[in-house]
Structure 1
């Protein structure tokens, strides 16, 4: 996918926000811990970087669940395979 720089940065920030929200809400992380983790999970990739934005192929919910519960979380916790309505509401802007 091709984004303008403005679109990329906005999408990156929104995914960081949602990732941090999940870590706080479902992982008992402090906002500061969650934000630091989000910055690590979603680093800025400069324009022209190979595979820029590839992380966006899965939503923040999935990446946060991997962080909290590990690979295969969807088998051990099938109730977490799909984001709950609280996440969907947050993704729509709360």
Structure 2
């Protein structure tokens, strides 16, 4: 049975986006796999403020076990986490 994890934005897609998509592996592989799952969470520039285009977005990880035989009816979600998005260039 596969387990898929995917980063998602709590806000609508016209405010925030996430990519590249889901990471899917068999359940048994997740505990012993050295590969990191990562997502890019980003805001839409038109929804940001100030010269550094600051916005605060919430994101979460969604978990599901869809395959050819089964479809997850209620996908699991972690509690949302707050993050700051900006275009500032003064960070190293």
Higher percent of residues as helix: 1
Q: If the length of structure 1 is used for normalisation, what is the TM-score?
A: 0.27
Higher percent of residues as strand: 2
Q: Between Structure 1 and Structure 2, whose CA radius of gyration is higher?
A: 2
Q: If the length of structure 2 is used for normalisation, what is the TM-score?
A: 0.28
